Amino acid sequence: MPSNSNVRMQCPIASEIDLSFVDSIVERLGTSPSAAIPILQAIQKQYRYLPEEAMRRVCEISEITPSAIIGVASFYSKFRHKPVGRHLVSVCHGTACHVKGAELVHDALRRQLGIADDDDTDPDGVFTVQKVVCLGCCTLAPAMQIDGVTYGHLTHDTVGNALHDFLELERRGLVAKRFDLPNQHIKGLAEIRIGMGSCCIAGGSADVRAALEQAVNELAIPAAVKPVGCVGMCHQTPMVEIAGTNNDGSTAIYAKVDPADARGIVRKHFKPGGILRRIKAAFSSGLDNILTDESWAPVTRYAIDVRDEPVCAFLGRQKHIATELCGQIDPLDLDEYIELGGFEALRKCVTTGKPEEVIDIVKRSGLRGRGGAGFPTGNKWQLTRAVKSDVKYVICNGDEGDPGAFMDRMILESYPYRVLEGMAIAAFAVGANEGYLYIRAGYPLAVKRIRDAIERCKKRGLLGDKVFGSHFSLKLRIMEGAGAFVCGEESALIASIEGKRGMPRLRPPYPAESGLWGKPTNVNNVETYSLMPYIVKNGAEAFAKFGTMTSKGTKVFALAGKVTRGGLIEVPMGISVREIVEEIGGGVPGGRKFKAVQIGGPSGGCIPAEMADTAVDYEALTSAGAIMGSGGLVVLDDQDCMVDIARYFLEFTQHESCGKCTFCRVGTRRMLDILDRLCTGHGKHGDLETLENLAHMVKRGSLCGLGQTAPNPVLSTLHYFRDEYKAHLEGKCPAGRCKALIKYSVTDDCIGCTKCAQHCPVQAISMTPFEKHEIDQEKCIRCDTCMQVCPVDSIRVE
């Protein structure tokens, strides 16, 4: 029988597999077909892949059929069917990483590890290398993660160092899980806040936090080190904020802090405790620390002030609603959330409000779904409310999957209570008593925080039976995704919760009518729910005052790419693309020319610099050929090739197509074939017309949003940058990006320093000291190393 190469089952020796373990999983998770995904996830957690024996066992002892288990196991990309190397290297292929050379890093990694073309693991079985859609640390681009450790700003030249560094960490037993977030700070104490979102952790904030805590303890300082959610200023991580030391309420911010400087920062703001306290505190760390009054290295280079212009510009244009109290609250501190007005909106709803009134507020607020399509939220709720059914569901769609977009993850990690409160309000409004949060695979911190938050809310009577003592009850569960972008489509997401392959189906009927298990179901995106407490608490008008005629409120974007200040931003609707790029983002760095922004990721399109005055508004973006999408916003400069960008996104959607309908399954592949041809100089006469024709047909003839929007990146770049496509037809890449179409050469400025020869990974440059170097075009792999190492800028690309 045929078996997909990545599905070919390598039969493990039966004795390796502990079937009683499988039995216990099934006993814990249930025998119904809907348990298939969680069961497979549990098996994979144990064995790091899915042994066939284990899956056969599941079929024997549950209602899950062989057909279903293989169908599901082979659908989701997180499931592995081959044993994995000792360490898993995930190379980020998010948009920001792509434009900063992720492909070169990936190639270099495979080359250095000697991984065969048809394999993903080195011959010794130490490292398995996989591409991932996005690690969500775009400001560290290009980045990769080895087990839990993130390495950023990689070059093909430094990946080897990263591997060695990791093995060294492992040898010293320092690879630890860094997600723990105990919160035990004491009220009234000054706070030393440190961002602990996934991206902050990737940027090294866990180490900084440890150093801060050590410093606070040893110096016996009356302050609490407080982990907070994402600050949004990813370009400045790790960030430390000192609050509660100035009487005017202002705070001091330190950016890009190194663990070695933690002590200095603490000392600058706090007086060390008395000598006795210090002795007591530092007893174990030796007396030298206490007796010498050390003079710390000046730390001012890290200090930034909110009144500083760049920070001011970054924060000044933003409006925090979904991300209210950004960088100030401890994500899991329920008391703090309540103290600051949290759950007030839900209380108001369930104790005094009527569902119809809530729906009315949401309708009047003008809120439209933040998942991408922009359907009016209030109307959706009303539709679900109107259907008579004993059981209804609310679902939070947290299966964000666009490369380069991680707003939902940030919100789930940083404001878990706000999301839960929003969901509860929705459930109350539509008449649901059960709900699911579908969270994308690879968001462990988000899952952990939401799980903790649900537990804490249940204990407090904010979820579960009789919320606030009312008749309203709500039971929420978490469903972890298993790696399928298409599950962001609501009907596919529902199929996935039901334990099936995540295949979308024709709508209507919409989930509002027939959703999960055929019951009326309200599906909203994370951001949509997180806006809800604000709207209900402050009223529809408070929200609707932001934005344009048809697009109200704010939108969170992940700003990345060729921009000085990247990060997560929440801006009022109606702001122009230019204001985002130039004011908030600080423009394109390195003196390059701003070329375009890509908005909406693989479903969106490019807006050229000439149209940068386009407002962030559902209709304005759509008519410009982009979409609001879920919020990825990547800035491109003149070194970015638009054909390559289109190819990049189409490769993504093509890979993520569920494979159901012909237009999407085969059509996107044929479009990709053409783009591949163009990018390698094999374009044929008529290719652009075929591409355009196919694009329109795929758009019109696909069943779900994925297929209907997949051609957008191609269509919009064809529209605005057709000349670049034509150049590719003639075998030229004007941006100098497409490897097969460019040539590296050495100019007469060469001083013969041999640096390029030393670094060339394929010996395409011979060691000729003090002579002008030559590049062997046959050997050259266009990895760009020579260009980067040349001290006199004598490498030319054409």
Partner 1 sequence: MLCILIKRIFGLSAFRVFAIKSIMPNITIDNKQISVEPGATILDAANKLGVKIPTLCYLRGHSATTSCMICVVKVNGGSNLVPACATVAQEGMAVESDSDDVHSARRMALELLLGDHTGDCVGPCQSACPAHMDIPLMITHLSRGEHHEAIKVIKDRIALPAALGRICPEICEKVCRRGIHDAPVSICLLKRFAADVDLQSGSPYMPECKPATGKRAAIIGSGPTGLSAAYYLIQEGIACAIFDSRPEAGGALRYEVSKDRLPNDVLDAEIAIIQKMGAKFELNSAVTGATLEHLHRDYDAVLLAIGKIEPERAQALDIQMTAHGVKVDKHTMMTGALGIFAAGAAVVPSKLAVRSVGEGRAAAHAIAHHIFGKPIKVHDRPFTVRMGHITDEEMAVFMAYASSSGRTKHSGNGLTPNDTSNEAERCLHCECSKLRACKLRDWAIEYDASPNTIKGRSKKLERYDDHPEIIFEPGKCISCGICIAIAKDAGEPLGLTFIGRGFDVQVGVPFSEPLSKGLRKAAKKCAQACPTGALALKEQFQGDSK
Shortest distance (Å) from residue 662 CB to partner 1: 5
Q: Which of 317, 592, 665, 682 binds partner 1 (CB under 8 A)?
A: 665
Indicate the burial class of 97 (C-beta count within 10 angstroms; 0-12, 13-18, 19 or more): buried
Q: CB neighbours of 566 closer than 8 A, spacing ≥ 6? A: 96, 138, 139, 234, 235, 559, 560, 585
- C-alpha torsion sign, points 24, 482, 197, 452: negative
Q: Which of 12, 19, 49, 56 binds partner 1 (CB under 8 A)?
A: 56
Shortest distance (Å) from residue 497 CB to partner 1: 17
Q: Which of 29, 39, 40, 55 binds partner 1 (CB under 8 A)?
A: 55
On whether the CB atoms of residues 88 and 146 are closer than 8 A, the answer is yes
Amino acid at 351: T
If binding is defined by CB under 8 A, does position 700 make contact with partner 1?
yes
Q: Which of 3, 246, 250, 351 binds partner 1 (CB under 8 A)?
A: 3
Q: CB neighbours of 95 closer than 8 A, spacing ≥ 6? A: 134, 138, 403, 404, 560, 561, 598, 601, 632, 634, 648
209 to each of 75, 169, 181, 264, 297, how far by Cα in Å? Answer: 39, 19, 11, 13, 19
Total chain residues near partner 1 (CB under 8 A): 49
If binding is defined by CB under 8 A, does position 677 make contact with partner 1?
no
If binding is defined by CB under 8 A, does position 701 make contact with partner 1?
yes
Residue 446 or 658: the one with the smaller Cβ distance to partner 1 is 658
Residue 557 or 652: the one with the smaller Cβ distance to partner 1 is 652
Residue 5 or 300: the one with the smaller Cβ distance to partner 1 is 5
Shortest distance (Å) from residue 741 CB to partner 1: 22
> Whole-angstrom distance between the N-terminal and C-terminal Cα of the chain?
49
Alpha helices (runs of H) in 12-123, residue ranges in sequence order: 19-29, 36-47, 52-61, 66-73, 95-99, 102-113
Shortest distance (Å) from residue 425 CB to partner 1: 32
Residue 283 or 517: the one with the smaller Cβ distance to partner 1 is 517
Q: CA-to-CA distance for 635 and 643, rounded, in angstroms?
A: 15
Per-residue mark of binding to partner 1, 435-474 (x: CB under 8 A): ----------------------------------------
Indicate the burial class of 116 (C-beta count within 10 angstroms; 0-12, 13-18, 19 or more): exposed
On whether the CB atoms of residues 515 and 494 are closer than 8 A, the answer is yes
If binding is defined by CB under 8 A, does position 66 make contact with partner 1?
yes
If binding is defined by CB under 8 A, does position 495 make contact with partner 1?
no
If binding is defined by CB under 8 A, does position 98 make contact with partner 1?
no
Tokens standing for residue 53: 């024996």
Q: CA-to-CA distance for 245 and 223, rounded, in angstroms?
A: 10
Q: CA-to-CA distance for 578 and 596, rounded, in angstroms?
A: 10
Q: Which of 13, 186, 276, 506 binds partner 1 (CB under 8 A)?
A: 506
Shortest distance (Å) from residue 243 CB to partner 1: 48
Q: Which of 26, 37, 69, 262 binds partner 1 (CB under 8 A)?
A: 69
Nearest C-alpha neighbor of 213 from the set 249, 235, 180? 180
Q: Which of 678, 703, 727, 729 binds partner 1 (CB under 8 A)?
A: 703
Shortest distance (Å) from residue 709 CB to partner 1: 12
If binding is defined by CB under 8 A, does position 8 make contact with partner 1?
yes
If binding is defined by CB under 8 A, does position 44 make contact with partner 1?
no
Helix/strand/coil for 755: helix
If binding is defined by CB under 8 A, does position 22 make contact with partner 1?
no
If binding is defined by CB under 8 A, does position 52 make contact with partner 1?
yes
If binding is defined by CB under 8 A, does position 599 make contact with partner 1?
no
Cβ–Cβ contacts within 10 Å for residue 762, how many?
A: 13
469: alpha, beta or left, given left = phi > 0 and alpha = psi -120 to 50?
A: left
Shortest distance (Å) from residue 508 CB to partner 1: 7
Residue 199 or 675: the one with the smaller Cβ distance to partner 1 is 675
If binding is defined by CB under 8 A, does position 661 make contact with partner 1?
yes
If binding is defined by CB under 8 A, does position 164 make contact with partner 1?
no
Q: CA-to-CA distance for 369 and 522, rounded, in angstroms?
A: 12
On whether the CB atoms of residues 482 and 438 are closer than 8 A, the answer is no
If binding is defined by CB under 8 A, does position 192 make contact with partner 1?
no
If binding is defined by CB under 8 A, does position 33 make contact with partner 1?
no
Nearest C-alpha neighbor of 214 from the set 192, 229, 183? 192
Q: Which of 68, 108, 216, 350 binds partner 1 (CB under 8 A)?
A: 68
Shortest distance (Å) from residue 59 CB to partner 1: 8
From 129-137, 227-235, 239-247, 663-671, span contacting partner 1 (CB under 8 A) = 663-671
If binding is defined by CB under 8 A, does position 772 make contact with partner 1?
no
Residue 3 or 24: the one with the smaller Cβ distance to partner 1 is 3
Cβ–Cβ contacts within 10 Å for residue 759, how many?
A: 17
CA–chain centroid gap for 269, Å, is 34
If binding is defined by CB under 8 A, does position 673 make contact with partner 1?
yes
- Phi and psi (nearest 5°) for 397? -85, 100
Report the interface residues with partner 1, using CB under 8 A: 1-4, 6-9, 52, 55-56, 65-71, 74-75, 484, 501, 505-506, 508, 654-663, 665-670, 673, 690, 694, 697, 700-701, 703, 708
